[in-house]
Amino acid sequence: MKVIAYDIGTTGLKTCMFDISKKESVYLIDGEVEPYELHVLENGGVEQDPLEWWDAMGKSTKRLLKRTGVSKEEIKGISFCSQMQTLVMVDKEGTPLRRAMSCMDTRADKQFAKYMKRGLQIEGLNLYKVYRLIRITGAVTASTKDPIWKYHWIRDNEPEIYHNTYKWLDAKEYLTCRATGKMRVSRDVASATFLYDVKKGCWSKELCNLFGIDMDHLPELCNSTDEVGGLLPIAANDLGLEPGIPVFSGGSDVSLCQIGAGCLNVGDVNFYSGTSGWVCTTVDKLHLDIGNVIGALVGVDPDSYCYIAELETAGKCMEWVKDRIDLPEMDYDGLIEYMKDVPAGSNGIVYSPWMHGNRCPFEDPYARGVFFGLGIATRGSDLVKSVVEGVCMHMRWMLEVTEKAFKTTSTVRFTGGSAISPYICQVLADVLGREVETIENPRHVGTIGAAALMAVSFGLISDIKEIKDIIKVKASYKPNAANTAIYDRIFPVFKNLYFDNKKSFASLNALYEGLYNQNESFEVEETLI
């Protein structure tokens, strides 16, 4: 049985074909990638065009079928792994009314402050609303980037769009709607809106009233293994597939990467580094750490939760340094070769990966990247190595705060595009001081999770937990004790880069926000920051 899984990312869409006919494996046949634009605006806005997502699905699917020689009749179902906390406002026909507001969008600071920063507070948030959120959702909205506030930003700044809105969808929910004509949202994605009642398994009327959300704008709920509907003829023509095949809901990138990594037992940890990054631990209860901005969200497995700590920019930092240090033509293998002889600690350079603010263990949209310790002898290769180390250091920090609440396994999984490189895997093991494992095709971990769930949907696997048995370890990396000792000394310095510069980050960003509001040119902003 052949199926196709789509991974909707922040800069492109992955389309992967799998054979799921054998219980003991989810076999990746081949994959395609189609990029699309991420619109970064001067006022903190970050947007994507949903029509480009659909166009990317069509182009990549047709290329994949042609290159593999697989006929469209052989494809028996499709599903999705997707970025979440994206806001897509659609009319009754499912047509987007504007570009989607990305999970990276920071414009809704006033809306966030209005609802969450007034009255008696705990950790800077309204005490009563925090209490109600914890009781109903098990989590708390603590970021201007959360979809509730983007929804209110639309209402306050684009009232005509708000007036014409029929439903508020997330990224994959728009695509399943385009494919089937039905507007449904999986429960794991719904929980990230902070409007989902985890105990009752439904939207919370109380929270919608508390935060001024029109419940009619929320789509019907479903499970990640549910069939949303059959592929419509017009959609089938766009994708080059047979009409009527099942379209499954799938899940968020966080929950499906946990599945695809084989991290289904309590305590299993997945380190993911793609454009963004996170440390996700499978846990058996809801827990919220407000101070470190980390909490448990509903996963695709009904018996466990995803305790998620997020870094906004991980692999994106590598892309940035490659382009900025006059290495734009160098591929990633060349980049690894370029820095491979740099010792642990990058000859005294420490880098902070907060290129677009940060969420955990501190929420601060003003935080930015820093190269600390530059000297006259500093080389470009030192800077590149420090970027890798900086991302790994932040991952260690997120694991550290995770372990304040939950016991984790001594060996962790590493997935995402960065996990393809044995060199980066070893750096992560050295920084963490613990063994790191990788799986086959770690770059496609999300689509592996989506394909495995389709095997459950089709009855080829009887239970989601059985997926762990078919995810095989490809390689493992043990920490180098000498390197770990160096990173142990650097780690406190790394953390202090934020605490020592918090006020300066805010002052500098306030200055440039003022320039934006005066319609200063983007060229000036790019040159000076």
pLDDT confidence tier of residue 222, bands split at 50, 70 and 90: very high
pLDDT-based confidence at residue 147 (cuts at 50, 70, 90): very high
Helix axes 147-157, 109-116, angle to 10 degrees: 110
Q: In 9-84, which residue ranges form alpha helices assigned H by DSSP? A: 50-68
Residue 453: name the closest of 18, 93, 102 by CA.
18
Residue 73: inside a domain? yes
Angle, vertex CA 50, rays to CA 47 and CA 54, nearest 5? 145
- Please, which residues have CB within 8 angstroms of residue 113's CB and are 6 or more apart in sequence? none
Domain annotation covers residue 350: yes
Alpha-carbon span 173 to 322, nearest angstrom: 34
| H runs (alpha helix) in 201-328 | 205-210, 233-239, 253-260, 315-324
Q: Which residues pair with 289 in a beta bridge?
A: 294
- 208 and 337 housed in the same domain: no
Residues 321 and 240 in one domain: no
**345 lies in the same domain as 228:** no
Question: What is the signed CA dihedral for 140, 79, 300, 133, rounded to 10 degrees?
Answer: 20
* 319 and 242 belong to one structural domain: no
> Of 48-57, 193-202, 358-367, 436-445, which range is least confident?
358-367
**What pLDDT, on the 0 to 100 scale, is given for residue 522?**
34
Q: Both 6 and 95 in a single domain?
A: yes
Nearest CA-CA partner of 183 in 164, 168, 161, 204: 168
- Same domain? For 240 and 344 the reply is no
Model confidence over 173-193: pLDDT tens digits?
999 999 999 999 999 999 999
Beta strand pairing call for 12-19 and 27-35? antiparallel
Which residues lie closer than 8 Å to 368 by C-beta, 6 or more apart? Answer: 352, 354, 355, 357, 505, 508, 509, 529
Domain that holds residue 334: 311-438+477-528
Q: Is residue 226 included in any domain, yes or no? A: yes
pLDDT tops 50 at residue 302:
yes
Instruction: Read off the tokens for 462.
Output: 């009887």
Give 517's pLDDT tier (boundaries 50, 70, 90): low
The tokens for 378 are 């500093």
Q: Is residue 257 within 8 Å of residue 274, measured between CB atoms?
A: no
Distance CA 356, CA 276 (A): 10
Within a domain: 453: no
The three state secondary structure string of 146-207 is CHHHHHHHHHHHCHHHHHCCCEEECHHHHHHHHHHCCCEEEHHHHHCCCCEECCCCEECHHH
- What is the tens place of the pLDDT at every residue in 441-497? 999 999 999 999 999 999 999 899 999 999 999 999 999 999 999 999 999 999 999
Cβ proximity of 335 and 385 under 8 Å: no
Q: Is the pLDDT of residue 26 over 60?
A: yes
pLDDT exceeds cutoff 60 at 526: no
3-state secondary structure 89-133: EECCCCCECCCEECCCCCCCHHHHHHHHCCCCEECCEEHHHHHHH
Domain boundary among 207, 223, 249: 249
Distance between CA atoms of 278 and 207, rounded to whole angstroms? Answer: 27
pLDDT tens readout for residues 248-265: 999 999 999 999 999 999
Average pLDDT over residues 148-163: 97
Question: Are 78 and 182 contained in the same domain?
Answer: yes
Report the b/e string of 299-332 with b at 16+ CB within 10 A. bbbeebbbbbbbbbbbbbbbbebbeebeeeebeb
Phi, psi of 501 (to 5 degrees): -120, 10
CA distance 478 to 36: 37
pLDDT more than 90, % of the chain: 83
In this structure, the answer to whether residues 155 and 234 fall within a common structural domain is: yes
Statement to judge: residues 342 and 214 lie in one domain: no
- How far apart CA 480 and CA 494 sit, in angstroms, is 20
Count of domains for the chain: 2
CATH number assigned to the domain comprising residue 227: 3.30.420.40
Q: Rg of the chain's alpha carbons, rounded to an integer?
A: 22
Q: What is the mean pLDDT of the chain?
A: 93
Percentage above 70 pLDDT, the chain: 96
* Claim to verify: residue 179 and residue 322 sit in the same structural domain: no
Q: Are residues 87 and 206 in the same domain?
A: yes
DSSP 500: T
Task: Tell me the pLDDT tens digit for each residue of 488-512.
Answer: 999 999 999 999 999 999 998 877 6
Decide if 43 is inside a domain. Answer: yes
- The reply to whether omega before 96 is within 30° of 0 (cis) is no
Phi, psi (deg, nearest 5) at residue 70 = -80, 130
Residue where a domain stops, chosen among 229, 249, 269: 249
Q: What is the 3-state secondary structure (H, E, C) of 315-332?
A: HHHHHHHHHHCCCCCCCH
pLDDT tens digits, 401-447: 999 999 999 999 999 999 999 999 999 999 999 999 999 999 999 99
Taking 80 as the threshold, does the pLDDT of residue 368 lie above it? yes
Q: Is the pTM of this model over 0.85?
A: yes
Q: Is the pLDDT of residue 132 over 70?
A: yes
pLDDT number for residue 523 = 35
Which of 71-75, 155-159, 328-332 is the least confident region?
328-332
Q: Is 114 part of any domain?
A: no
Same domain membership, residue 316 and residue 242: no
Backbone angles phi, psi at 323, to 5 degrees: -80, -30
Judged by phi (left if over 0) then psi (alpha if -120 to 50, else beta), residue 133 lies in: alpha
More confident residue, 123 or 228: 228
Question: Are the C-beta atoms of 480 and 426 separated by less than 8 Å?
Answer: yes
Which secondary-structure segment (H or E) carries 397? helix 380-402
Widest Cα–Cα separation across the chain:
65
Cβ partners under 8 Å of residue 358, min gap 6: 311, 312, 364, 367, 498
In a domain, 213, yes or no: yes
Which pLDDT band holds residue 332 (cuts at 50, 70, 90)? confident
pLDDT at 527: 30
- Whether 10 and 102 have beta carbons less than 8 Å apart is answered as yes
Domain termination site, one of 249, 271, 295: 249
Rounded Cα gap, residues 477 and 480, in angstroms:
9
19, part of any domain: yes
